[in-house]
């Protein structure tokens, strides 16, 4: 695993430097365009200040801000033991040094994402729709995918690229507004007085950069995001030893008719399946944040019975038609070396199931299982929102909202009254 993280780090540095050069080029040409000759250095300085401010906010408060925007509620182990147990299992399998914070988003659409600046600051958020619809194997697949993002250092890298993208968009937007509302007139007078052809060239380059730089930055950001989704899928298959679990989960997420309530263009690319961008097998493009979900499912189902990175890479080449590996070469060499050592017992084996059958049965689960998962998830959300739980002698469970300001609460089934300071409370 460390080879993937190291490879990601090297490529991340290259892409961050590329985005930084684009950002400073935008700053320089904007300064020359709006402030006149010599204003380029000031423009770079302003671009650097904007980037530092946005990066500081994202680095120190990004997780909290994203959870607040997404409506995530932080929970403890007692709130949802099944989810915590699955996360703990995948943390052990991935050999992470710390269990990420766990959040639940009260949304009926199934989805999940990971965020944070490093392993110690990481967080995983899942929706109530995901918890209600997925069985344990499928939930393990999704959680392992998000753990893969944390393990591969994707969360910090995508945060940095996202901040740079935001800074470029902000600067170009301000430049366009200033240029078309008077800045170009000041710039034209200066050019006509100096008759400097170089300044005219800078003017043209500046206008082109204002138009193209946000597009180029988005292409870089989205291309990096797509590759990291493949790597996280491969990590999930390795951690769970059961690629079919994630494949079924992706089907349920992709083919649901429910759309998320709290999402936007900023948060959507972070999810395991982009809730604003449903993809068919051939619809991926430069501005797609994720690979086609159907393609990801096919790759997982074409892995061999004992999942490893070679199997994933082979399936990736077969399904995508790519001649280039998605897995770093050093990781593949390590797997080859491991294959020469004594074999290890397999935890699970993938059972081939026809795609058409699974597509039709993706949302088909036993009503009793769904009902139990819904109750479990609903209770976890209410506990996270500081509801108080009281077990009544008649078997009912009273759920008292934090805004309830009366000294007693009465069970509607048996009419028994309880003091809110009573020791019979169970939960928060």
Domain positions in the chain are 1-385, 387-428
Asked whether the beta carbons of 151 and 228 are under 8 A apart, the reply is: no
CA–CA gap between residue 246 and residue 252 (Å, rounded): 10
- Measured CA to CA in angstroms, residue 185 lies from 34, 43, 97, 141, 190 at distances of 9, 18, 58, 58, 9
pLDDT at 122: 93
- pLDDT tens-digit map of 333-344: 666 655 555 554
Burial zone of 415 (CB within 10 Å; 0-12 exposed, 13-18 middle, 19+ buried): exposed
* H or E stretch at 101: strand 101-105
Catalytic site positions: 146
pLDDT at 360: 44
Phi and psi, residue 48, nearest 5°: -65, -40
Q: pTM score, two decimals?
A: 0.77
- Six-digit token string for 2: 């460390």
pLDDT at 176: 74
Burial zone of 265 (CB within 10 Å; 0-12 exposed, 13-18 middle, 19+ buried): exposed
**Average pLDDT rounded to a whole number, residues 243-270:** 86
CA–CA gap between residue 278 and residue 333 (Å, rounded): 35
- pLDDT tens-digit map of 53-73: 887 887 788 788 888 888 899
CA–CA gap between residue 371 and residue 133 (Å, rounded): 10
- pLDDT tens-digit map of 109-125: 999 999 988 889 999 99
- pLDDT tens-digit map of 144-184: 999 999 998 888 877 777 777 777 878 887 777 776 665 55
- Give the chain's radius of gyration (CA, Å): 26
- pLDDT tens-digit map of 356-404: 434 444 444 455 567 778 778 877 877 777 788 888 888 887 788 887 8
Query: Which phi-psi region, left, alpha or beta, contains residue 395 (left: φ > 0; alpha: ψ -120 to 50)?
Result: left
pLDDT at 285: 63
pLDDT at 350: 44
Checking if the pLDDT of 220 tops 50, the result is yes
pLDDT at 6: 60
CA–CA gap between residue 320 and residue 295 (Å, rounded): 8
| Model confidence band, residue 270 (pLDDT cutoffs 50, 70, 90) | confident
More confident call, 265 vs 252: 252
Asked whether the beta carbons of 245 and 137 are under 8 A apart, the reply is: yes
pLDDT at 347: 45
pLDDT at 179: 67
CA–CA gap between residue 396 and residue 148 (Å, rounded): 41
More confident call, 382 vs 133: 133
| Model confidence band, residue 196 (pLDDT cutoffs 50, 70, 90) | low
| Model confidence band, residue 272 (pLDDT cutoffs 50, 70, 90) | very high
CA–CA gap between residue 309 and residue 328 (Å, rounded): 9
Between 99-103, 361-365, 415-419, the lowest mean confidence (pLDDT) is in 361-365
pLDDT at 90: 94
Kindly state the DSSP code that residue 215 receives in the 8-state scheme: H
CA–CA gap between residue 327 and residue 317 (Å, rounded): 11
């Amino acid at each position: 695993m460390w080879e993937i993280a190291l490879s990601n780090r090297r490529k991340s540095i290259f892409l961050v430097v590329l985005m930084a050069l684009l950002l400073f080029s935008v700053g320089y040409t904007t300064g020359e365009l709006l402030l006149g000759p010599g204003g380029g250095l000031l423009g770079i300085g302003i671009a650097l200040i904007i980037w530092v401010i946005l990066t500081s906010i994202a680095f120190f408060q990004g997780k909290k801000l994203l959870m607040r925007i997404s409506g995530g509620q932080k929970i403890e182990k007692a709130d949802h033991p099944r989810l915590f147990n699955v996360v703990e299992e995948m943390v052990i399998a991935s050999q992470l040094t710390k269990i990420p914070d766990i959040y639940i988003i009260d949304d009926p659409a199934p989805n999940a994402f990971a965020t944070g600046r490093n392993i110690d600051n990481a967080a995983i958020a899942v929706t109530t729709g995901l918890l209600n619809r997925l069985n344990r194997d499928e939930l393990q697949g999704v959680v392992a995918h998000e753990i893969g993002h944390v393990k591969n250092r994707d969360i910090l890298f995508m945060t940095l690229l996202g901040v740079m993208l935001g800074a470029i968009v902000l600067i170009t937007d301000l430049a366009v507004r200033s240029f078309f509302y008077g800045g170009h007139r000041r710039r034209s007078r200066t050019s006509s007085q100096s008759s400097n052809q170089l300044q005219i060239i800078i003017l043209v380059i500046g206008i082109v950069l204002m138009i193209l730089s946000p597009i180029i930055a988005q292409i870089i950001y989205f291309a990096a995001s797509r590759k990291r989704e493949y790597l996280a899928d491969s990590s999930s298959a390795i951690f769970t030893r059961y690629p079919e679990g994630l494949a079924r989960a992706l089907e349920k997420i992709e083919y649901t008719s429910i759309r998320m309530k709290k999402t936007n263009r900023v948060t959507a690319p972070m999810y395991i399946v982009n809730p604003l961008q449903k993809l068919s097998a051939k619809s991926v493009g430069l501005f797609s944040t994720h690979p086609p979900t159907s393609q990801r499912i096919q790759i997982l189902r074409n892995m061999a019975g004992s999942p490893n990175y070679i199997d994933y890479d082979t399936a990736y080449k077969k399904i995508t038609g790519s001649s280039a590996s998605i897995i770093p070469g050093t990781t593949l060499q390590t797997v080859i070396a491991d294959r020469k050592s004594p074999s290890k017992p397999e935890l699970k084996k993938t059972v081939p199931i026809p795609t058409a059958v699974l597509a039709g049965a993706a949302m088909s689960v036993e009503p009793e299982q769904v009902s139990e998962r819904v109750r479990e998830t609903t209770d976890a959300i209410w506990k996270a929102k500081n509801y108080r739980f009281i077990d009544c002698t008649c078997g009912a469970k009273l759920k008292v909202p934090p805004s309830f300001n009366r000294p007693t609460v009465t069970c509607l089934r048996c009419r028994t009254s309880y003091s809110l300071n009573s020791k019979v409370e169970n939960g928060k």
